[in-house]
């Protein structure tokens, strides 16, 4: 599995993105690798504040920043033309430019020229490994847990990371397996599943989580949503190739429609469990749901635990907010 080495510390570039959902790359790096972050660069006062010191390119270069990391993930994975001047300034100042987008950095002529002038690297994290196989469907040794969701951008990565942390603290053998650009930047390795050619998605999932010791758990970061009109294809391929023994359904409290697709109602947690089991049985007949993970940040603090208790009772599964309660209840259910 490819490894990723980035020059630290980071300057997280937010641009003028004001929507938290689309600044999830920057947010994820700050939450899980805060020690790697020196500051943030925002192009407008209304842009998302990640809680880092605001820096200009000149200030970042003077402070010894190694990489400017584009902290946004827009639909389609593009770079707005208005951001190119700032990225070019950073590359010319010697900062590596790191992006997890579908747009190739080296394909932007002025940015490539600035990087050559400043001795900077252009690092595209969202690049699939070469020579990926077609999925075999053969059973692999080791155990696997996959996070799935009622939608995108609601906690699949955070849940997987917290599960790995809590499982290790409980004495279990466990590894986080990153399947998206932000997870790869956090973990330093992984496979960006959503840029793999469709025929090889399930094979890429097999590469992401290879054979392991019988009692070892791979905690695989989920992608997309099994009912998502735009991204269900990657979800299906990742599920089939992962062959999970267990899965956790991730949900955002209060969300009623697919984010960015307001005409599509959100599926229920029960719908997601049923369909995940139905599809997952293709490669692992023993697949089962072991818990529900909820982002409760939109709820008043006094209502969160009661909400989780009601949800757990309704589905007969442990329901947690991984950052509020931890994931011990789900781990016990494994």
pLDDT per residue of the chain (334 residues) written in tens, 0 to 9: 667 889 999 999 999 989 887 888 999 999 999 999 999 999 999 999 999 999 999 999 999 999 999 998 765 567 889 999 999 999 999 999 999 888 899 999 999 999 999 999 999 999 999 899 999 999 999 999 999 999 998 999 999 999 999 999 999 999 999 999 999 999 999 999 999 999 999 999 999 999 999 999 999 999 999 999 999 999 999 999 999 999 999 999 999 999 989 999 999 999 999 999 999 999 999 999 999 999 999 999 889 999 999 999 999 999 999 999 999 999 999 9
Q: Which of 256, 240, 239 is nearest to 248 (CA)?
A: 239
User: Is the domain of 95 the same as that of 220?
Assistant: no
Cβ proximity of 114 and 88 under 8 Å:
yes
User: Is the domain of 22 the same as that of 105?
Assistant: yes
Decide if 3 is inside a domain: no
User: Is the domain of 169 the same as that of 281?
Assistant: yes
pTM of the predicted protein model: 0.92
User: Is the domain of 71 the same as that of 207?
Assistant: no
Q: Which of 131, 158, 138, 135 is nearest to 147 (CA)?
A: 158
What is the structure's pLDDT at 19? Answer: 87
What is the structure's pLDDT at 52? Answer: 97
**Peptide bond preceding 54 in cis form (omega within 30 of 0):** no
**Domain membership of residue 118 as a residue range:** 10-124
User: Is the domain of 223 the same as that of 295?
Assistant: yes
What is the structure's pLDDT at 77? Answer: 64
What is the structure's pLDDT at 75? Answer: 57
Q: In whole angstroms, what is the distance from residue 38 CA to residue 270 CA?
A: 42
User: Is the domain of 169 the same as that of 246?
Assistant: yes
Cβ proximity of 117 and 97 under 8 Å:
no
Decide if 1 is inside a domain: no
The tally of domains found in the chain comes to 2
The strands making up 246-252's β-sheet, listed across from edge to edge, are 174-177, 217-220, 143-149, 246-252, 288-295, 319-320
Q: What is the DSSP string of 31-86?
A: HH-GGGEEEEEESSTTS---SS-B--HHHHHHTT--EEEE----TT----GGGHHH
With a CB cutoff of 8 Å and minimum separation 6, the contacts of 29 are 10, 12, 36, 37, 69, 71, 182, 185, 186
User: Is the domain of 89 the same as that of 164?
Assistant: no
User: Is the domain of 202 the same as that of 276?
Assistant: yes
β-bridge partners, 240: none
User: Is the domain of 84 the same as that of 160?
Assistant: no
């Amino acid at each position: 599995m490819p490894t990723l080495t980035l020059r630290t510390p980071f300057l997280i570039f937010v641009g003028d993105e004001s929507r938290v959902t689309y600044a999830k790359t920057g947010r994820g790096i700050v939450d899980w690798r805060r020690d790697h972050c020196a500051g943030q660069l925002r192009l407008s006062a209304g842009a998302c504040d990640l809680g880092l010191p605001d820096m200009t390119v000149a200030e970042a270069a003077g402070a010894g920043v190694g990489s400017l990391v584009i902290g946004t993930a827009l639909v389609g994975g593009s770079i707005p033309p208005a951001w190119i001047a700032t990225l070019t300034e950073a590359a010319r100042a010697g900062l590596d430019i790191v992006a997890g987008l579908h747009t190739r950095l080296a394909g932007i002529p002025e940015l490539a020229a600035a990087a050559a002038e400043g001795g900077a690297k252009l690092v595209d994290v969202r690049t699939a490994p070469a020579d990926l196989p077609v999925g075999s469907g053969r059973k692999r040794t080791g155990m696997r847990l996959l996070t799935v969701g009622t939608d995108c951008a609601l906690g699949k990565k955070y849940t997987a990371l917290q599960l790995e942390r809590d499982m290790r603290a409980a004495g279990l053998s466990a590894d986080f397996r990153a399947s998206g650009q932000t997870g790869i930047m956090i973990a330093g390795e992984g496979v960006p599943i959503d840029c793999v050619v469709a025929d090889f998605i399930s094979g890429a999932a097999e590469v992401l989580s290879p054979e392991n010791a019988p009692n070892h758990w791979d905690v695989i970061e989920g992608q997309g949503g099994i009912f998502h009109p735009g991204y269900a294809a990657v979800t299906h391929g990742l599920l089939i190739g992962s062959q999970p023994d267990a899965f956790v359904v991730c949900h955002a409290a209060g969300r009623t429609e697919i984010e960015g697709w307001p005409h599509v109602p959100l599926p229920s947690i029960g719908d997601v469990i049923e369909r995940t089991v139905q599809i997952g049985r293709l490669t692992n007949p023993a697949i089962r749901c072991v818990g529900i993970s909820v982002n409760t940040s939109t709820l008043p603090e006094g209502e969160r635990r009661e909400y989780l208790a009601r949800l757990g009772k309704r589905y007969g599964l442990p329901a947690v907010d991984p950052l509020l309660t931890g994931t011990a209840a789900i781990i016990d259910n494994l």
